[in-house]
Amino acid sequence: MSELKQTLNVKVLFIAFLLPIFIIWIIDSSLKGDFSSFDTNDSFTRFANATLTSYTLGSLILLGNLFFYADSRKRPLAPLIGMILAVLIGIAATLFLIGMGPMLLENNGSVRAQTVYNLGHTIVSFLAISLAMVLCVGSMFAALTNGKKRKMFDEEE
């Protein structure tokens, strides 16, 4: 497959991901008669909190994954320190940005309350995303295996 076609395919898949959201937005706006169903301030706050928390949690999971990598590389310390640093930067950035003021606080009174809420929120979102992924990929396989049986190769005579 040529590089141009591959890039084009990725773009088409990205549009396919966004398309349902646009359709819902258009239908919702048409039914309610305005385009302001969502609050941009709240949406930005949620986006920023989700980015910071998922980056930190993702780095933590990948730090655990380094142990599998280390098994095949005589247990080097350099990548381990690199990932620990990445996790610490994530934690520090989260605490610093939440502590800056009301920008990232979502109806929570303190930095600690917001951090704990972010953790819980991200865990629940991860759970929902994982379940949806299993169901979608499972549905795809169910559609593939329940179709008519295909002949892969011509039988030898």
Partner 1 sequence: MDEMMNAIVFFWFPLSLIPLGAWFSLSSKTNLRTNFGRFAAVLGFILVCISPWTVPTSPSSSIGHLLGFIIGPSSLLLIGIYLLIFSGNVPVGKLPSSDRKLGTFCMALGSLWFCLMQWGEFTPIYDGREVNRFWLIFFPTFILMICCLSSVLSISMLIIGEERQTESMVMRMVSIVSIILIICGLTIDGKNISSETFTTYFWLSVSDLFGILVGVSLSIFIFGFVIYVYERSIGEPNSVPPPTPEELSQASQKIAANIGGAESE
Q: Between residue 91 and residue 110, which ones bind partner 1 under the rule CB under 8 A?
A: none
> What's the burial of 94, exposed, middle or buried (CB within 10 Å: 0-12/13-18/19+)?
buried
Which x/- pattern, by CB under 8 A, does the window 48-77 give for partner 1? xxxxxxxxxxxx-xx-xx-xxx------x-
Q: Which candidate, 109, 120, 122, 114, places its Cα nearest to that of 96?
A: 114
The CB-of-104 to partner 1 minimum distance in angstroms stands at: 12
Q: Residue 105 and residue 115: Cα distance in Å, rounded?
A: 9
Q: Which of 7, 35, 43, 88 binds partner 1 (CB under 8 A)?
A: 43
Q: Taking the mean position of all CA atoms in its chain, how far away is CA 84?
A: 21
Site residues for partner 1, 108-137, by CB under 8 A, read: 116-117, 120-129, 131-137
Please give the structure tokens belonging to residue 3. 């590089």
33 forms part of the interface with partner 1 (CB under 8 A): no
Q: Residue 45 and residue 107: Cα distance in Å, rounded?
A: 11
The CB-of-121 to partner 1 minimum distance in angstroms stands at: 6
The CB-of-101 to partner 1 minimum distance in angstroms stands at: 19
Count of residues binding partner 1 (CB under 8 A)? 78
Backbone angles phi, psi at 6, to 5 degrees: -65, -45
Q: Which of 3, 146, 152, 153 binds partner 1 (CB under 8 A)?
A: 146
